[in-house]
Amino acid sequence: MAVLADDLIWATRLADLVRGAGADPRPVRSLAALEVALPEVDRVVVDLTARAYDGLTAIAAAHALARPVLAVGQHDDVELRRAALAAGADRVHPYRRLFEDGPRQLAAWLATGPALETPA
């Protein structure tokens, strides 16, 4: 599973959460690196709050190759979270949900496949 995050702390946290859910993370830090990884991964986690890439473009690239996408972003940025769903993300979680309940949320996503979640 590719984990796209340019912030070192969140990249590490997300990779640890993926491991905790029983999957193998492949950390990438740019859109170019994600595009290289996409043919070799079956899913993608995208951190929406990035400076080095556009998270919506990353979601669209993964979606175009039929890779399920779980996106994570600020809890108060409902507009961006809705845009992530429109770009092709299967689920969009606020950071807090993954921080508090990440392995279970990721394991549920892995077990059920794509399922839309409407941002609150």
As beta bridge partners, residue 92 has 71
Whole-number Å distance between alpha carbons of 27 and 11: 7
Domain positions in the chain are: 2-112
CATH topology of domain 2-112: Rossmann fold (3.40.50)
- 48-85: pLDDT as tens digits: 999 999 999 999 999 999 999 999 999 888 899 999 99
Its pTM stands at: 0.90
The model's confidence at residue 113, banded by pLDDT at 50, 70 and 90, is: low
